[in-house]
Amino acid sequence: MSKAAVAKPLPSIVIAPVLPWLSTFAVIAVWQIASSLGLLQEQILPGPDAVLRAAWTSAQDGTLTDAVVASVLRALVGSLAGGVLAIVIGVASGFSRLGEFIVDKPIQMARAIPFTALVPLFILWFGIGEEPKILLVSWAVFVPLYLSTFSGIRNVDRRLVEVARVYKLSSIEISWRVLLHGALPSVLGGLRYALGLGLAVLIVAESVNAKNGIGALLSSARQYAQTDVVLLCISLYALLGLLTDMLVRVLELRLLRWRSAYVAQ
Amino acid sequence: MYPVDIKGIQRSYSGSEVLKHIDLKIARGEFVALLGRSGSGKSTLLRILAGLDRPDGGTTSISANVAIVFQDARLLPWENVARNVAMGLTEQDAKERVRNALAEVGLSHRIDAWPVTLSGGEAQRAALARALVREPDLLLLDEPFGALDALTRIAMHDLVLELFERHRPAVFMVTHDVDEAIKLADRILVLDNGHIHAEFTVERSRDGSLAAASTSIRADLLRALGVAHSSGRSRTGHETESHHLRLAAQNGAI
Ligand SMILES: Nc1ncnc2c1ncn2[C@@H]1O[C@H](COP(=O)(O)OP(=O)(O)O)[C@@H](O)[C@H]1O
Ligand SMILES: [Mg+2]
């Protein structure tokens, strides 16, 4: 380390990842200070320290862990089922006219239905077990992901498909190597949105009717006016949303390397 | 068995007959160029040979081992050069063949590159490697040098000739560049009004220069294309003829 290097400003590599978080930290800090000074009414808006304390106590008696595990499992299973189905059906109907006629039209119509309207129907149909919640998440993930897969496939350069046909790739290979890869930017954009929607729908479904899960914790906290637990649940959702976003970002970095290659050179 | 043997090919798009009656045979080791005005149906014919389009009438017998290079390289942007070149190869030694093909087109150093990082000439050489790696019986070229700058185009001409001499496939090249056709092809066809309107054989001496019998071919081609001079359609008169040649010489400079 030379002395000249010490005098230099912090390299951007160190600052860049921190920057986007600064405003969030600032808000939390102001919130904490206001709360400590007694400016906020504890019943209306407890401070961040109270939320952390609520997290600690509910983690101690196991309710927090149970709720998070239940919700994350539902989100995972539902997203996976809805996601895989959306991509397979999206590729099939993007690839063939017949597929488009059979599935695209009904899905285009179904997308207009608000998800909350389906909650009571699914509960009537599937009872109060895991099925209605997982199905709701699947559906919420399926619709936007299907739509973005379909439009992504339709926008893939047909001239690339022609080359693949001359070189005798099978339909499966063309679907995978040409169409799905070409549609990936659109698919991943759709995935980001779909996972967020799946999480939101899960919260609604859990707070209407569930024995466990973050939504159930939220709804019981509301009943007993535990504002700190309500805030804890909201923070958990924010955290889960952040995690799914990071997951999609990692996927994008890996799968769309070919797009950034030119910039990186 | 000819790699291309088609008879009486017809093709219409919404009522307008683009190809009316095309007969064509191409032997292995023969380089055929197709000239014609823009919109005369050259690509339509090439696409039929590639199996990308069906004729409305006529019979076709076309080799199963076809390779193609378009004006745009059409590499899959999300696969590196090596994977692109290997497209559709099922042989055990595919990797080795890809390496050899890339070496042949002088692109060994870009084997792992993403297509977006290639220059126009490099991308076209990768497309050429992808075509040659499967030792095709029939190589289809649709204005393959059209998007390249003049210097790169000349280098590509030499490369294509060199590869053609080594592998001797049947070549069918669509172009609208008369000089390119003369430089590369053994036989030049002119497509007009849905027919092969004129056909020229290019005779070369040992050293590759045009033989005496073929010196007027440029003027003849320009006349067949109807682009020489306003009176160019006239088939008589030495004055017109020599005028064409002068015009050809002016435009010339291969
Ligand atoms: N898929 C298509 N649908 C309708 N018309 C087409 C299609 N492909 C080509 N054509 C028409 O056929 C004619 C010949 O086109 P093309 O073979 O591409 O000409 P060239 O390659 O000689 O410039 C043009 O008039 C073009 O508009
Ligand atoms: Mg064309």
**A240 vs B236: which has the higher pLDDT:** A240
pLDDT at B194 over 80: yes
Following CA atoms B143, B145, B148, B154 in sequence, which dihedral angle do they give, to the nearest 10 degrees? -150
Q: What is the mean pLDDT of residues A150-154?
A: 94
Tokens representing B8 are 């009486």
The proportion of chain A whose per-residue pLDDT surpasses 70, expressed as a percent, equals: 93
**B79 vs A259: which has the higher pLDDT:** B79
Mutate to test the pocket of ligand 1, among B10, B14, B18, B140 (most ligand atoms within 8 A of CB): B18
* DSSP-derived secondary structure letter, B51: T
Q: Among partner residues B77, B87, B116, which is closest to A169 by beta-carbon distance?
A: B87
> pLDDT of B155-169, one tens digit each?
899 999 999 999 999
The proportion of chain B whose per-residue pLDDT surpasses 90, expressed as a percent, equals: 73
With beta carbons under 8 A apart, name residues in chain A contacting B116: 258-259, 261-262
Q: CA A67 to CA A74: how far, in whole Å? A: 11
Task: Please report which confidence band the pLDDT of residue A10 belongs to, taking 50, 70 and 90 as the band edges.
Answer: low
| Atom of ligand 1 lying closest to residue B14 CA | 4
CB atoms A160 and B134 under 8 Å: no
CATH of domain A61-255: 1.10.3720.10
As a whole number, the mean pLDDT across chain B is 87
The pLDDT score that the predictor gives to residue A149 is 95
Cα of B105 vs centre of ligand 2, distance in Å, is: 25
**B40 vs A260: which has the higher pLDDT:** B40
Tokens representing B43 are 């690509």
The pLDDT score that the predictor gives to residue A263 is 55
The pLDDT score that the predictor gives to residue B86 is 97
Residue with tokens 């040992």: B206
With beta carbons under 8 A apart, name residues in chain A contacting B68: 163, 166
Range among A40-49, A201-210, B106-115 with highest mean pLDDT value: B106-115
Following CA atoms B199, B205, B210, B215 in sequence, which dihedral angle do they give, to the nearest 10 degrees? -80
| Residue minimizing CA distance to atom 26 of ligand 1 | B39
C-alpha dist (Å) from residue B217 to B187, B190, B213, B239, B252: 11, 12, 8, 17, 12
Q: Is B3 in the pocket of ligand 1 (CB under 6 A)?
A: no
pLDDT at B51 over 60: yes
Q: Does A169 touch chain B (CB under 8 A)?
A: yes
> Lowest-confidence range among A32-36, A71-75, B196-200, B209-213?
B209-213
pLDDT at A251 over 50: yes
Cα of B178 vs centre of ligand 1, distance in Å, is: 21
CB atoms B67 and A167 under 8 Å: yes
Q: Are B201 and B190 in contact (CB under 8 A)?
A: no
Q: What is the mean pLDDT of residues B202-225?
A: 79
The proportion of chain A whose per-residue pLDDT surpasses 90, expressed as a percent, equals: 55
The pLDDT score that the predictor gives to residue A214 is 92
The pLDDT score that the predictor gives to residue A128 is 78
Q: Does A166 touch chain B (CB under 8 A)?
A: yes
Q: What is the mean pLDDT of residues A113-130?
A: 83
| Atom of ligand 1 lying closest to residue B41 CA | 17
Tokens representing A13 are 């590599």
B117–chain A nearest CA distance, Å: 5
The pLDDT score that the predictor gives to residue A11 is 64
Ligand that lies nearest to the alpha carbon of residue B18, given by its number in the listed order? 1
Q: Are A111 and A90 in contact (CB under 8 A)?
A: no
As a whole number, the mean pLDDT across chain A is 88
Handedness of CA A154, A156, A158, A160 (dihedral sign): negative
The pLDDT score that the predictor gives to residue A9 is 62
Q: Is B130 in the pocket of ligand 1 (CB under 6 A)?
A: no
Nearest CA in chain A to B65: A167
Angle at CA A230, nearest 5°, toward A225 and A232?
140
> pLDDT of B72-120, one tens digit each?
999 999 999 999 999 999 988 999 999 999 999 999 999 999 999 999 9
- Element holding A210 (H helix, E strand): none
CB atoms B116 and A262 under 8 Å: yes
C-alpha dist (Å) from residue A63 to A43, A208, A211, B217: 22, 18, 11, 90
Task: Please report which confidence band the pLDDT of residue A76 belongs to, taking 50, 70 and 90 as the band edges.
Answer: very high
**Count of alpha carbons within 13 angstroms of residue A169, beta-carbon side:** 19
Residue pairs between chains A and B whose CB atoms are closer than 8 Å: 56
- The candidate with the shortest Cα–Cα distance to B128, out of B109, B117, B144, B152, is B144
pLDDT at B234 over 60: no
Nearest CA in chain A to B51: A166
B125–chain A nearest CA distance, Å: 15
The pLDDT score that the predictor gives to residue B232 is 40
Task: Please report which confidence band the pLDDT of residue B240 belongs to, taking 50, 70 and 90 as the band edges.
Answer: very low
The pLDDT score that the predictor gives to residue A207 is 84
Task: Please report which confidence band the pLDDT of residue A114 belongs to, taking 50, 70 and 90 as the band edges.
Answer: confident
Q: CA B155 to CA B84: how far, in whole Å? A: 22
